[in-house]
Structure 1
Amino acid sequence: MSDTQPRRRRRRPAVSCTLCRRRKIRCNRETPCSNCTRSRSSVCEYETLPVSPHRSRESERDEASSTTTSTTVPVLEMESMRNRVTLLEKEVENSLRRMIRSAPQRPSTADTPVSSIETAESRIGGTFYIHHGNPALGQSPNIHRSLTHKKRMYGQSHWMNMSVVMVKDIAEMIDGHARDPSTQEFSEKVFSGMHKCKRIARLVKSQREPPWPCPPTPELPPKNIADDLVDCYLRTCESVYRILHIPSFKRSYEAIWVTDNEIDSTFLVQLKLVLAIAAAVYNNNFTLRPSAMRWVHEAETFLANPHLKHRLNIQYIQIYCLQLLARQSAAVGEDMVFISTGNLIRSAMFLGLHRDPAHLPARTIFANEMHRRLWNTIIELCLQASIYGGCPPLLSQDDFDTQPAGNFDDDQLGSNEAIARPETCLTQSSVSIILRKTFPARLAITRFLNNFTSTGSYEETLQLDSDLRTGYKTLRDDLRAFDPSNGNLPSDFQIRVLDTIMNRYLCGVHTPFFVPALTDTKYAYSRKAVFDTALKMWYATFPVSEDIGVSPSNGTTTPMRDDFQRMVTCGHGFMRSATMQSIMMIAVEMRTQLQEDDGLFPTPLRRDLLAIIKEAVSWSIWCMEAGETNVKGHVFVCLMRAYTQGLAKGLGKGELARMLVEASHDALQRGMELLERMIQNEVPEQDQAGLGSLSLDDLTPEMLADWQSIVSHVVRVCLSRRANIL
């Protein structure tokens, strides 16, 4: 349109009140209009509502196109109602504002609603805070997501996360028995005995700990013992977690004994870590534990050197991997290994191990294969530390592209023309290659269990279960496909380790739904899966379901244990926690079956399950004879055995509580005997003065107070002597 052309005015709809239309005069369309105001007319009616000046042109067009209402509404009355509603809304809003300003300020609970945290407290176990699912993240509030105990948070994969829920009723019965005046005195002896055992354990551990810092020394055990330890390591851990190049390591090891030259400090640290790992499977009672702990502390001092740049290489990564395994074997801060794996994986990435050698400058086959082997071990240690510690893996498939190692024997890597052997031929790397194939499925399960943003839905649980079972079937087929004519078959130790690892993840993915499955048939598959995998993990440790023997202190001898049984008895970490979790799940399943029985006569216990619980009691004694200072594990399995036996006999709640307290008393008495034996063997005689030989029946509150002061004094003396050494 040209600028000179006049603009057309939009015609406004001819809307007039009844009076103006009848008199045929112009209406200003107000409410009331000016004509009605001058004529003092009480009613100003419109057939169509007037258009307010502030309304848009679109609204005017809509109102113009609307049909004329058949019934007229008094506009003045309607406007009055609108004003009253507006006034009331403003009054309500002002009242709410005054209430909010006058209310006391409270801390925000939007992030952690109080209703999502359940407190479980008992004198025998302490205080636990159970965190339920957050519906805002799509999680079910009936599922336990994590557990806080002693300022530490454990995710769903940690065995303690479910144990508190499952034994809650046992703890409540014991606490109730302690509050009963007629039985309070006997119950208090149990709690006092627990306190005394803890004090003795602190004394023993303070004596075992070497001074810090602990610089590496050239001292080594005699050659015959060192040879046996090196063989133990190579046939156990190294056969699953590839870290060393065995021919190179053996050459350096033999050179130590034939030359008088000064030993390279880096290789010496590496060798001592190998000896420390093997010490846990050297004999039944872990007689080399003090030496193993010292070797671990020496390696920790070596790694703590702030001048790291000049030594950051492949050998440093090997030492770090060995250090993590040795800490779990010798129980040196084994529950903190998850923290150290973060440093390991970042150091490896700093060296480029997370990138496949195909994307790096050309190197020898030896360098490329050691690169891939070490990265495979690093991510495996990271995943197992996450499951063991109940923490997120902090690793994803997008963080690396390093391929699995080739199927080479170590002696092949000396030639650049070496060709990988077929998959049906067993090599020194075959087991680690097979395990690596299941890594994606196991990583997904770990993230599902321990990432706080995971929905934790049952549908995803079933999908993860299906994926892992598919990988498990492939793993079994690969192990069975080895041709005996081309090489040896996998060892019994390797097969049992792989079986325990796979079943630990299968059990873990269903564990969150195990407790709901005890009352809700919708999760019945999870209940069956947890129980089946728990049995498999136990039978991987003790393949024959029969009595595994009694303690040598009872006058008889135990059968010779194999490498895997020694690993889960003398050592700590992933494998031992899997065995402990299997016991707990089996005991809870037995308890539930007895509680579900609605017959007239008590149901007899399954002999195979009862045999496992009896074996578990013997196994817990083995652990303490091998140097375990925490008596709670032994008390726990004894309580589970007494509880299932009491339910099978149909005992009432009062009798069952008394039976549990007596079982705790007997277990603590047995544990105290083993701890006092440790004191006699490991604590110098001058530091044992005043400890005496006490039993739980002799304890009184006054004696307990004296006992605490005596032990505190002994601990201070030990620590001061260690400080003087420094």
Structure 2
Amino acid sequence: MEGARPVLSCASCRQRKLKCDRNQPCGNCVARSTDCVYSSASRNRPVAAQRRDGNANLENRLRRLEELLNTMAPRGSQQGSNGSAATSSREQNDREKGASPEDNSSLQSDPFNLSDVKPGRMMSSDSQVAYVSSTHWAALCNEVAELREGLEQTNLAEHTDNAEISYGSGPMLLDGLQRPPDLKDILSGIPPREVTNRLVSRYFTSNVISLVILHAPTFEKEYNRFWQDQEQVLPAWLAVLYGVLAMGSFLFLRSQEDLPGDLGNTLIAIEAFQRRSTECLMLSNYSSSPGPYTMEALAMNTQIEFVRRRDASVGVWVLMGVAIRLALRMGYHRDPSHYPQLSAFQGEMRRRVWALTLQLDALTSCQIGLPPMINQAQCDTQQPRNLLDEDFGPDFARLPPSRPETELTPVLYTITKTRMTNVFRTIFNHAGLGRVDSYNQIMELDQRLNTTMQSISPRLKLTSFEDSVSVPPWLLIHRYSLELLSLKARCILHRYYMTQAYSDPKYNYSRVSCVEAAMSILKYHGQILAETQDGGLLCQHKWFLSSLELHDFLLSAMVVCLELSFRARAKSGSGGGQSPVKFTREELVGSLQRSQILLDTLKVHSSDARKASVALAVMVKNFTQPQKPQEESVSGFEPRDQYANSGSLPLYPSEAESILGSMSFDEPYMSSEAIQTSHPAFSSSLEGVGTFFNTSEIIDWDQWEAFVQGSRSTTDSF
């Protein structure tokens, strides 16, 4: 009988189908920091004998594993209980100190070393990828070194919850009520290649945030293979392609250009491509069997849904939640360095996808006023490196060193934005805890925000407009985005202690920081409005104006209104003194008036802008018309003691709610000029503004109530 072919490669190289240099350890294992193990079995024994011995050996190992699991399970439960108790104890201490459990790593030292925590287990096959935490039984199998190789070669389905491959295995709400079209039907929606080429080229020559999750040279090879044999395409990859076509069409729309070929109406084309992308995701069983390209397709799908809508959408936020859960299921929240089966290229692209996921989570959550869904305390994925796509590829055994951040690359903005988003997420989470942090914690977060801003590359720092005339529009937009995010974080961070400063000067830093950040936001919004007009630096990027969050407008305007209200009350009373804020009353009022003009430009396309514009008109009117003298003299504008001392913030003030809650937008929108000539219509047109303001708890409604009381004399006269 013919002898078996000698096994010369190590186990790791055989598993990955790599060429082994047969050293001990080999070069591939050194690059991946994995164990290099060579088979010690006889190379001259018959294959059948080796298989019989191997099967018997595997059975013995599996029996031993079963005994090991039975022994470890009770012990693991006991340790888990002890660990939970210890964690609960630490969290209780954190609550007493005013720190959130999620942010312990940044605000105080952790006695546990993260490197000591088992990273869980990554299991993959050609069609799907799954991750389980270190407490899952499948991860325990990975602890048995002798079984690692054999078990990794088994079918992934044996370790998952028997996921079905056929359509309809997931929840009906995710799979849809109708079976998606077959692949042949979906492929019929692809435009001719010359048209598709132009849409793909427009996407890859842009600077949209999703661009970094696709490796351009690799996508180009896959794209060419697709045109050679469309029948062999993976549905998830086709979902990515349709997403690229949808975003490419959107880029034509925002630059006010006609689509190539006979695609017709741009909005209809975008919706058609988005529908096809969604059908491809459904066909790929993304919810039950996520695999290669699933996260890229979901990120593209979510981004398109986001840019298609002028106003905040709960549906987009829910869709983002689905994407986040699948990312966790696939282990994107754990750094790829833990998993040797992931190549250097795969790991870096996963880091890019996770960075974009973090940004979209914070963006969509804050937009509707809910906490972000990702718990950073459970994540250790590192930032992607500052590399060009040409710097690395699928054939690289290891990544090259990161380029310096003084060198502008497409991924540098993603790296910087993710850092800023992580700080913003921490601040936003603290603001939504339903209690007030100590001032020391506020100042620690303020210092962290300052440090993050100082670390921004000079290439991405916003400079004066006079120094930006030669800056490309896309780079100017990136600079504005980073600056506005940091200013919004500062407003949210200091919004509570700003009002405390009215009665206690030791908090004046928060008052000054909050007002100056709010005024800067309003100033930058005005600059952007001016530059998006014909002939401006951003005249081809009017979409950027409409994409600005209206929540930023109202947050900033509210801060300015509170400052104006305090000054008015302090002037009528005996307190107040010299304001530490550098802006005059005229400058503060002027910023509100300019903001109302900006909102008026958006009201045609956005119902939220219409509501915000009318609400802002109430504020402006309060400070531009003479007010009736107050019946009671207020000195120092002191907040109510029950809120100042309880550590909690009121959600809805009774009197402000009675005014704002009775507002309606059933009537057609009226301009500020019409408001002055038609008081009853204005009164009826304000219904519902309260729901816009109630999107989150970052506004101090106690102070807002006091402000609205000053407006009552005007609104009552209507």
Q: TM-score, normalised by structure 1?
A: 0.50
Structure 2: distance between partners of 1:628 and 1:220: 34
Deviations 1:559-611 (A, max 9, x none): 65728973453336xx44334433333344344434433499xx997554444
Shift of 1:290: 5.8
- Alpha carbons of 1:319 and 1:277: their partners in 2 closer, same or farther (altered >3 Å)? farther
**What is the CA RMSD across the aligned residues, in angstroms?**
5.1
525, 543, 567: which one pairs with 2:527? 543
391, 398, 409: which one pairs with 1:412? 391
508, 517, 520: which one pairs with 2:492? 508
Shift of 1:321: 1.7
- Asked whether 1:532 is paired with 2:516, we answer yes
Residue 552 (structure 2) aligns with: 578
Shift of 1:317: 0.5
Counterparts of residues 91-110 of structure 1 (less than 5 Å)? none
Structure 2: distance between partners of 1:477 and 1:699: 51
8 Å CA contact retained: 2:491, 2:514? yes
310, 316, 327: which one pairs with 2:294? 316
Residue 723 (structure 1) aligns with: none
- Alpha carbons of 1:626 and 1:333: their partners in 2 closer, same or farther (altered >3 Å)? closer
Shift of 1:339: 3.2
Residue 363 (structure 2) aligns with: 384
Residue 449 (structure 1) aligns with: 431
Structure 2: distance between partners of 1:225 and 1:548: 35
8 Å CA contact retained: 1:382, 1:393? yes
Shift of 1:374: 0.8
Residue 671 (structure 1) aligns with: 669
Counterparts of residues 312-351 of structure 1 (less than 5 Å)? 312-331=290-309, 334-351=313-330
- Asked whether 1:435 is paired with 2:451, we answer no
Deviations 1:51-102 (A, max 9, x none): xxxxxxxxxxxxxxxxxxxxxxxxxxxxxxxxxxxxxxxxxxxxxxxxxxxx
Residue 678 (structure 1) aligns with: none
Secondary structure, aligned partner of 2:400:
coil
The runs of 5 or more residues in structure 1 that have no matched partner are 1-135, 141-210, 482-486, 551-556, 655-660, 675-694, 701-726
Residue 617 (structure 1) aligns with: 596
- Alpha carbons of 1:587 and 1:222: their partners in 2 closer, same or farther (altered >3 Å)? farther
Secondary structure, aligned partner of 1:391:
coil
Residue 239 (structure 2) aligns with: 266
Secondary structure, aligned partner of 1:631:
helix
Counterparts of residues 38-77 of structure 1 (less than 5 Å)? none
Secondary structure, aligned partner of 1:419:
coil
Secondary structure, aligned partner of 2:189:
coil
Structure 2: distance between partners of 1:223 and 1:540: 41
Secondary structure, aligned partner of 1:597:
helix
Shift of 1:336: 4.2
- Alpha carbons of 1:399 and 1:418: their partners in 2 closer, same or farther (altered >3 Å)? closer
Counterparts of residues 561-600 of structure 1 (less than 5 Å)? 562=538, 566-571=542-547, 575-598=549-572
8 Å CA contact retained: 2:209, 2:414? no
Aligned AA for 1:406?
R
Residue 49 (structure 2) aligns with: none
Shift of 1:499: 1.1
Structure 2: distance between partners of 1:337 and 1:282: 24
Residue 282 (structure 1) aligns with: 255
Residue 355 (structure 1) aligns with: 334
- Alpha carbons of 1:381 and 1:559: their partners in 2 closer, same or farther (altered >3 Å)? same
Q: How many residues align?
A: 445
Aligned AA for 2:669?
G
Residue 448 (structure 2) aligns with: 467
Structure 2: distance between partners of 1:518 and 1:565: 41
8 Å CA contact retained: 2:473, 2:537? no
8 Å CA contact retained: 2:355, 2:383? yes
8 Å CA contact retained: 2:239, 2:277? no
> 429-438 or 246-255, which moves further after superposition?
246-255
8 Å CA contact retained: 1:280, 1:330? no
Shift of 1:233: 7.7
Shift of 1:260: 11
Residue 496 (structure 1) aligns with: 480
Aligned AA for 1:562?
L
Structure 2: distance between partners of 1:626 and 1:219: 30
Deviations 1:165-224 (A, max 9, x none): xxxxxxxxxxxxxxxxxxxxxxxxxxxxxxxxxxxxxxxxxxxxxx99997772769988
Shift of 1:330: 1.6
Aligned AA for 1:456?
D
Counterparts of residues 626-637 of structure 1 (less than 5 Å)? 626=605, 628=607, 631-637=610-616
Residue 641 (structure 1) aligns with: 620
Shift of 1:642: 1.7
Q: Which runs of 4+ in 1 moved over 6 A?
A: 136-140, 211-217, 219-226, 251-256, 258-264, 487-490, 664-670, 695-700
- Alpha carbons of 1:234 and 1:616: their partners in 2 closer, same or farther (altered >3 Å)? farther
8 Å CA contact retained: 1:535, 1:586? yes
Residue 213 (structure 2) aligns with: 243
Structure 2: distance between partners of 1:609 and 1:642: 13
- Alpha carbons of 1:540 and 1:548: their partners in 2 closer, same or farther (altered >3 Å)? closer
Structure 2: distance between partners of 1:613 and 1:492: 24
- Alpha carbons of 1:288 and 1:317: their partners in 2 closer, same or farther (altered >3 Å)? same
Residue 381 (structure 2) aligns with: 402
- Alpha carbons of 1:641 and 1:436: their partners in 2 closer, same or farther (altered >3 Å)? same
Structure 2: distance between partners of 1:653 and 1:670: 34
Structure 2: distance between partners of 1:520 and 1:289: 54
Structure 2: distance between partners of 1:323 and 1:567: 19
- Alpha carbons of 1:520 and 1:567: their partners in 2 closer, same or farther (altered >3 Å)? farther
8 Å CA contact retained: 1:280, 1:570? no
Larger radius of gyration: 1
Structure 1: distance between partners of 2:308 and 2:508: 39
Shift of 1:435: 3.4
Structure 1: distance between partners of 2:192 and 2:567: 52
Structure 1: distance between partners of 2:534 and 2:224: 35
Q: TM-score, normalised by structure 2?
A: 0.51
Structure 2: distance between partners of 1:559 and 1:642: 33
8 Å CA contact retained: 1:236, 1:494? no
Aligned AA for 1:583?
A
Aligned AA for 2:447?
S
8 Å CA contact retained: 1:327, 1:334? no
Secondary structure, aligned partner of 1:456:
coil
Residue 110 (structure 1) aligns with: none
- Percent of residue pairs bearing the same amino acid type: 18
- Alpha carbons of 1:410 and 1:230: their partners in 2 closer, same or farther (altered >3 Å)? same
Structure 2: distance between partners of 1:383 and 1:665: 30
Aligned AA for 2:239?
T
Structure 1: distance between partners of 2:565 and 2:268: 40
- Alpha carbons of 1:516 and 1:440: their partners in 2 closer, same or farther (altered >3 Å)? same
Shift of 1:409: 0.2
Structure 2: distance between partners of 1:455 and 1:599: 29
